Structure 1
Amino acid sequence: MSKLINAYRRILHTYPIIVQSIQTSMLMSLGDICAQTIIERKNLGEINLIRTARFGSLGIILVGPVCAQWFRFLATTIGTKGSAVALKKVAMDQLLFAPCMMLVFLTTLNTLERKSWEETQRHIKANYVDIMIANYKVWPAIQLINFYIIPTYYQLLLVQSIALFWNTYLAWKTARKID
């Protein structure tokens, strides 16, 4: 097991963006599968694999790389240790990054689904506030622990591991039909 962990560390330190993007994609795909099977109660044979691939592709092309760079930016501009540093990072993360990233995420997802701009706007209006309220119930506490305890290189892994549940929620929320 220690050989596997050491191999992961080496690869992560050598190719941080690629590794973090792949792990994000895998966990976002798994979140969509969980949404379809657990929340939407589909059998495995009924899973919409295109939807899962679309959601997972957001992990590798958008969420993984952007979040990896964001965590690196926070570490270099604010620091890496101390409670004041952690609080500043959480404030920046939740007040600046989360609202903007969610808009970009929803817009990109709707674009991948080939929705018109009008449909995209309706979808964002129907989901954005609910998603952000849920975000503020979940992420500030997790990010405080993350920024205070976890080394920078492993912060996205922790976030994405916990985000399996968040991704399940997002996949379900964004796949619902809007009237």
Structure 2
Amino acid sequence: MNRAQAAFRAHPYISNVVGYTALFSCADLFQQRVLRRQDSSAGVDWHQTARVATVGFCFHANFNYQWLRWLERMLPGGGVKAVTGKVVVDQLVAAPLTISAFYIGLSFLENKDNLFQDWKEKFWTSYKTGVVFWSTMQAVNFSLVPPMARTVFLGGVALVFTIFLCHLRQQDHKLE
């Protein structure tokens, strides 16, 4: 544990971004192997996982690292008022951006004709589910996790939510 703490202290940006990206892409692997594929002999779509990792690295990990630093500067501390403020601002600003980046980014990487189709069909379901899930997880993050490790903690939590997003994205029907 001391080595991990030393790495986070010495290289917080790299540790957080690499950790987040690894966890983010593992969500797609899990979704493929457990949720999507009923046939256990089916292989992993590594191109799909690479696309998820690309969106995770290019946007999510970097955005979240900077976002969490900014939130801590604007609303410092772990008291009830600061944590509540961070959670509310996070859900009103970051949540729509990150969900949009997920759907639109993957559609872009897949060269889809309509980059906004998945987003239009699945944004509100994702956002409503995320408000409940992320409000709780961010309250834990902002009150218990040291600022230097918040992005990688978020990556661990994002693993669960990204499994949901990847699974939802694979659904062909329109959700209300």
TM-score normalised to structure 1 length = 0.88
Match of 2:57 among 55, 60, 67: 60
Give per-residue Cα distances to partners, 1:26-54, cap 9 Å, x unaligned.
Answer: 11121111111111124365210110111
Once structures 1 and 2 are overlaid, which stretch shifts more, 38-47 or 141-150? 38-47
Matches within 5 A, 1:2-151: 5-41=1-37, 42-43=39-40, 45-116=42-113, 119-151=114-146
Tell me how large the CA RMSD over aligned residues is: 1.7
Deviation (angstroms), 1:157: 2.2
Determine what percentage of the aligned residue pairs are the same residue.
22
The answer to whether the Cα contact below 8 Å between 1:20 and 1:157 also exists between their aligned partners in 2 is: yes
Alpha-carbon distance in structure 2 between the residues aligned to 1:40 and 1:99: 25
Deviations, residues 47-84 of structure 1 (Å, cap 9, x unaligned): 10110111112222211111011000011111023111
SS in 2 for 1:47: coil
Which of structure 1's runs of 4+ aligned residues deviate more than 4 A?
Answer: none
**Paired residues for 1:168-179 under 5 Å:** 168-177=163-172
Letter in 1 for 2:160: F
Bigger fraction of residues in helix: 1
* C-alpha separation in 2, matches of 1:44 and 1:159: 32
Q: CA offsets, 1:130-178, max 9 Å, x none?
A: 1101101211111112111211112222222122211111111223346
In the alignment of these two chains, the number of paired residues is: 173
